[in-house]
Copies of this chain bind each other. A is one copy, B any other.
């Protein structure tokens, strides 16, 4: 009895981890049960013994990965600091998080896009709906000082999140225009610099926003 389809069974865990890697790398359609079995070092039949079907194995993996992403974002936004500090904290910590999970953005974005219903179960489980309101209430005075109305929050939040997420999702596309980004060290440096660039960029814009 453990969280979201993962018990403490050693084999189950090995399968789950292998499946996470393969699905994250190849996506649902591109993943092969055989490859997952190989990576887990067990037989294909065992996958079905533990997870019944490819669909169910995928859902178990997907939900954990989606939750991982959202919880990271939510935890940072929930911190008890000023909005200004929150921007800097978010970009610092979220880029650190994504640098350890660089394929997570494109995986989640693509799978949800191809099949939006896979996330419906989570909308209720994790009540992120009122995030915007919570965030605005918490920083109402500060945000009004920046000329940010409640109705501006979606635009602002999408902008902030895209600063960290987009470069990972679009890395190979970016590399077409900037081939130096193919180099891991260069890209790493780019993202390290982005922490400050993006923070300054956002805060600077907010600071001088006409009200």
Contact = CB atoms under 8 A, between A and B. Distances in A.
A155 interface: yes
A193 interface: yes
A81 interface: no
Interface string A193-211: 1100110111011011110
Q: From A116, A162, A165, A208, name the one whose CB has the most chain B CB atoms within 10 angstroms.
A: A162
Interface in A164-211: 165-167, 169-179, 181, 190, 193-194, 197-198, 200-202, 204-205, 207-210
Interface in A106-164: 106, 108-110, 112-114, 116, 119, 122-123, 128-129, 131-132, 152, 154-155, 157-159, 161-163
Given A29-B29, A122-B176, 13 more contacts: A26-B29, A27-B27, A27-B114, A106-B109, A106-B113, A108-B173, A109-B170, A109-B173, A116-B172, A123-B179, A129-B177, A132-B177, A204-B208
Interface of A: 26-27, 29-30, 70, 103, 106, 108-110, 112-114, 116, 119, 122-123, 128-129, 131-132, 152, 154-155, 157-159, 161-163, 165-167, 169-179, 181, 190, 193-194, 197-198, 200-202, 204-205, 207-210
